[in-house]
Structure formats: C-alpha cells, structure tokens
Chains A and B, each alone.
Chain A
C-alpha cells in the first residue's frame, strides 16, 4: 500500500467523519425501530418487531397508549394516496419532461433559451411559495382540493426534474444518428421510437424514478393543496408527530427508507446502464 502523508491521513479521517455525520441519524432510526422501550425511544431496552407489527395492524404486546395507529386503514389509505399521486404525477411529468427536452434539444425556435430558463425556475422556487401559489390558483379556479390537485401540483416541478435528466442524456447523444435514421427512410415518429427513445431511455427511466421519489416524499407543497380525503403519507406522518413522538415513527421511517433506497438504486442502475456510445 502507498504510504500516506499526514495530510492524506487527515483527509481520510475527515471523510469518515463526514459520512458518520451524514448517516448516523438514519442508522440510529433503523436501530431504534427495533427497540422495545415504549416510553423513551432513545434508551435501548431489547429487541422487538412490535412497532412493525403495529404499523401493519398486527397484534402486539403493546399498550394502546404507546401506539399511534388508531387505525392501520388510515395509514394504508395515506400510503395508497401517495402511490396514486406519485404514480400519476410521474407518468404525466415523464411524458411532459421528455417531450420538452426533445423539443428544446432538437428544434430552434423563438424564445428558446427563455423556455429553458422557465423550466429551471420551479426547481429553485421555495416550496412554500409554490405551495401557496398553487393553493390560491386551485381555489381561485374552482378546483376541489384532492388527489387531482396534488397530481397537477407535483407535475409543475417534477416536469423540470425529468427535463433536466433527459436533457443531459440527449446532450450525450450523437444527433447524426437521427439524421442517419431519416436518411434510411424513417419518418420523425419512427426515428423517435426506434432511435431517439431507446438511446435516451436510461435517462427517461432515471427521471421517472427520481420524480416518483420526490413526489412520494413531498410534504410542503402537498400540505397546501391536499384535500380532506387526500392525505398523503408525509402529511399523515406529520399529523402523527403532532401528537407526540412515539417509537412507531421509527418503524415507519425505516420502511420508507428501505423503499427509497430500492427506487434510488434502480435509478442509479438505469442511469449508468449503457452510457457507452461509440
């Protein structure tokens, strides 16, 4: 092994500390989700799966007071809402973001760079501003707040994320392959389906997974534009915490973490897949 200089060693220590700082809270949540102490969630009292059982509405040895979940149905309902919202918003945003990225990459038109700028704005706009703006718009326009308003709201910023991921992929693509396709007799649609789309597909899937995660996770904007029957999982969890922090929250957080890691891993896998273009 190469001998390390003192500065190099310092850098290694710094890196380790950095990752501890980054991941320690998350790891603690995972560990304490198995803690059987019902009163003080930060004092280890033995291993249990009761919190998970409680989340899924299974029978536990816990006293009623130590559990949040009055009804697992509510939790599952919130989860279902989240999945419906994230699924719909992802499909719409992926379609819009991809077509916008292709249009801006392949065609030159008036206000071209202005459109590009407009697509970046929703990403940097504070969530609370976007949330309030959407709420005023929906109420003003006579929408009933519910899943549909959340889906529309999410699409406003998810489109930007998809746009950016797909644009990066398009930038790395040889535009002459599209010319070659046209030259060989393919019309624009055939070219898109057989050449462009397969080549940008990793970006499209990556963008879709990113959108899905962001939509599942969004609290601030959703909080403003969700209706009575359309509580999503993050909004539901916020409501739970308002009634005091109980160990069950660790189990829910761990499950969400697991879900996110799976989706994110899939995203990274698709993004790195066949990036080699000759």
Chain B
C-alpha cells in the first residue's frame, strides 16, 4: 500500500462496533458501524457532543480500548491485535499527562529512551522537537514549573518525537484560555503541514474543527452523521443534527405545496418559503436551513433572487461587529439573524423585515422517508 504518492486510504476504519453496558444494565452503542478512510497527511477532526463516541474511537485507534467487531488498518496492516505500546501511533492527552517526576527533556525524550536511541541523537532530537513547539532550551525544567500552554506544547513535542505515522489529539486545547487556544489552533495546523503526518483531532468545539481540519467527521450517538470538508459540513449539512450542531442555524420544516421547473414552495406552518431546490416532490416534508448570517435588514444589491421574512423582535445582542437578532416569525417559529446595524430601530416587539438570497437556502435531505418517484 505504501507508495511514493500519499495514500488516500492510509488508515481504514472498517465497520467499527463498540458497546458499553451501563451500571443499570442498559446497552450504549459507543460506536455503531463506523467506517472511515483517512488519507496519509490529513488533518481530520472527530466532532460531536460528549458521549458521541469520538473519544472511544480515538482510544481504540491508540490501543487503550478494544473493538467488539470491525477492523482498523494502518498502511494496509491491521493494528487492532497490537498492544498500545507497539502501535506507530502517538497521543496528545487532554490533561497532557506529563510525567511529573521527570524534567521536560526527559518527558520529551521518553519515547527515545524506551527505544534505546543513543544519547547524542536523543538529545538532539529532543532539542529539535522542543524547538518545533517553540520551547527551545527548557529541558531542565519540571512540568510543574510550566504554564498550561507550555505543558501542552511539551505534551505535543513528546508525542511527535517518535515520528508516529499517526498523531491522535484528544481535546488538547480545551484547558487553555481562548487567546492561547486560537494561537495553538494555527500552530497545530502548521505543525501538521510541516510533519506531513495524519492528525486525528477530537473536539466538541465546532469552531476549532472548522478552523483546523481538512475534513470533519461529525459523530452523534456512535454513528457518523456526515464526513466532509469544513465548507461542506457548514454549508451543505446532510442531517438536521449537523446543521444545528455546527454554527447557528434556523431550520424551517414544512410541506412542499407547489412544484415547478424553477423550484418549490414550502409551507411552514403558514409561512411560505420558496426554494430553488427541485429534488423534493410535491407533498414531501422538507427541512430548510437558513444561517443567521445570510439574513440582513436591507435588500442588498447582489444578483440573484431575494426573498424576505417578517420577524417580531424579542432580543437584540450586540456582539461587536454585528447584531444578533432573536425573535419569532409570523408562525411563531423561533428565529435569529446576524446582521449589520441599519436605520431600522431594533426595539423589542417591533416587526422587522429580513432579506436573504434564495440561493442561501439549503435543503437538508430527509433520510427517514424514502420519497416516492426517486430511484
């Protein structure tokens, strides 16, 4: 499998199943038939709420948990029979898990010491790894003398020094404050590009996922909801879960009441929305996604058909660059918009008109009901 060109299926997770039994005797499907190919130098993020199975999957790849059934191939070889210490995989743990009794240098050099690399090479590689994470020359300090951000970097240096084929990161940034987190996001992405190895990053923070990933795997209840680039999962979510979990969203559900060559009319409890999507059939239930940032208080001059909605204002939140408007549509549906301030007075209980490009509407495919007429 390994060739000169980076393999697109370097890591293959095949029909991974893992169940847990709760103390009450119930069964939880932590992983429910997960299949996923991962490319050789890809930054892939497992995103989902807590309990979605993302950490379980990471632990299974690392070797700290076992699969009930399924397989994981790394460069064509099944690794699930190998114990954790024999896998060419390294992990950055959520709590860093540095060895408190060892200096930074010994922490970072641990993998090399175990592999019995000679002292000269070992010291040189430790220095290089620390330089890579921006912490050159602190070999002699103890982890307890470092800040959270520095400990994080040491954990990172320790994990990359063995030159793993795959680096696993278990919510490594969750303990850092916001500014440091943003900085580390960029650094992680740069480091991944520099090393050219695959990073599997686990997070529940959708912004983090959107910022860094080549691809995002959205997990929910042990199943894959969607796999795609950040752009795809944000703009073309395949399920309602993905639409609501990633970014702010307005979901309009209704029935198709008119269908023509140019689009459909959807009746959402009395509010009629026109969509350019012609795939749904007459009478079908559909869900339409409209992101708050696609709404504005003024009809702007861009090309493309525009439409409008009337919302009764309930709350206005100033967030710096924009205003968040929260309120309800005529049919009572809670709705929100993110828009520049205009001359329109933003007073509670006032009615405001919101404009949007019809092309901004995205139809979430309905999976539950296979529609008639579709092959």
- A residues with a Cβ closer than 8 A to B are 174, 176-177, 179-187, 190, 194-195, 198-199, 274, 276-278
Contact = CB atoms under 8 A, between A and B. Distances in A.
A26 to B, nearest CB: 37
A4 to B, nearest CB: 38
B99 A179 contact: no
A174 B144 contact: no
Contact of B62 (A183, A190, A277): A183
Interface of A, secondary structure class, is helix
Given A182-B85, A185-B85, A176 B63 contact: no
A278 B151 contact: yes
B111 A184 contact: yes
Contact of A177 (B62, B99, B146): B99
B144 A278 contact: yes
B39 interface: no
Interface string B69-96: 0000000000000011110011101011
Contacts, number: 75
Contacts of B85: 182-187
Contacts of B95: 174, 176
Contacts of A199: 99-101
A195 B100 CA distance: 9
B375 interface: no
B200 to A, nearest CB: 13
Nearest to B144: A278
Nearest to A179: B64
A250 to B, nearest CB: 44
Nearest to B158: A184
B83 to A, nearest CB: 8
Given A187-B85, A190-B114, A278-B146, 11 more contacts: A174-B97, A180-B93, A181-B99, A182-B85, A184-B85, A185-B85, A185-B86, A185-B162, A186-B85, A278-B100, A278-B144
Contacts of B254: none
User: Nearest 8 pairs between A and B by C-beta?
Assistant: A176-B97, A184-B111, A180-B97, A182-B84, A278-B144, A185-B114, A277-B100, A182-B85
A6 B110 CA distance: 60
Contacts of B158: 180, 184
Contacts of A187: 83, 85
6 contacts: A176-B97, A177-B97, A177-B99, A277-B100, A277-B144, A278-B143
B218 interface: no
A176 B171 CA distance: 14
A181 B98 contact: no
Contacts of A198: 101
B114 A183 contact: no
Contacts of B91: 179-180, 183
B143 A183 contact: no
A176 B172 CA distance: 14
A179 B143 contact: no
Given A185-B111, A199-B101, A179 B90 contact: no
Contacts of B64: 179, 182
